[in-house]
Amino acid sequence: MVPAVHASREIAPDPPHELGLADSLRATYSREALRDLYARFSPGDSEFDAMMRRIVFRAVARSVGNGLRLGRSVSLLHPETFSFGDGVFIGDQAVLQGRFDGSCTLGERVWIGPHGYIDARDVVMESYSGIGPGARILGSAHTGIPIDVPVSQTDLDIKPVRIREWVDVGTNAVILPGVTIGKGAIVGAGAVVRNDVEPFAIVAGVPARFIRWREGYEPGLNA
């Protein structure tokens, strides 16, 4: 048993030189140029590479808090629609696929594990929530209607996904479009969640089913 690290570490304000460089890049570079600049530092594993990823992302994103950590080869589509709080962590090779008219909000100390995937068209992850390595949040699906055309040509149905504060989503779990995971809930590894999850519930399986309440939680009594 060891203490948690990410959710407990101190978040220092980002240094002025980083903020100033991000402002300068935003004022002088096009979105395409910023994308190319990010690509230069994306696979690097040095502290300088990590700093430059953070600076370039700040230059293009809607808003970014202090202490952002972007892993290697993180893919960010339409980052101009992203809003991140303080202390957000995104692991190596994670993918956040935004949409030009969408919105993705990650609250304070949100954690995205390596190889995680977020269909970030209408997604909110509240503070201290996280998804494990390889977990996926899906925000859209093709309707499949009409039947006489390929499914990929049918309309895309975008539904909001809400991950409330303190939620933990296990490794390789899948959250389907339109789902809300209640505060403090735990989703087991490999689960496929197609329905809303109650606060402080533990769910697991395919499809995910209620297993039990978290220890110490009594429905109707806890906040």
Q: Say if residue 223's pLDDT is above 80.
A: no
pLDDT at 8: 81
- Say how far apart CA 91 and CA 114 lie, in whole Å: 4
- Say how far apart CA 55 and CA 185 lie, in whole Å: 33
pLDDT tens for each residue of 183-216: 999 999 999 999 999 999 999 999 999 999 999 8
Kindly indicate the confidence band of residue 44, based on its pLDDT and cuts at 50, 70 and 90: very high
pLDDT tens for each residue of 120-157: 999 999 999 999 999 999 999 999 999 999 999 999 99
Q: What are the extents of the domains in the chain?
A: 14-60, 74-213
pLDDT at 217: 86
pLDDT at 1: 85
HEC string for 48-67:
HHHHHHHHHHHHHCCEECCC
- Say how far apart CA 181 and CA 202 lie, in whole Å: 11
Chain mean pLDDT for the chain: 95
Q: Domain 74-213 belongs to what topology? A: UDP N-Acetylglucosamine Acyltransferase; domain 1 (2.160.10)
Q: Over pLDDT 70: what percentage of the chain?
A: 99
pLDDT at 111: 97
- Indicate the Cα dihedral angle 69, 93, 39, 152, nearest 10°: -130
Kindly indicate the confidence band of residue 9, based on its pLDDT and cuts at 50, 70 and 90: confident
Q: Say if residue 222's pLDDT is above 80.
A: no
Kindly indicate the confidence band of residue 220, based on its pLDDT and cuts at 50, 70 and 90: confident
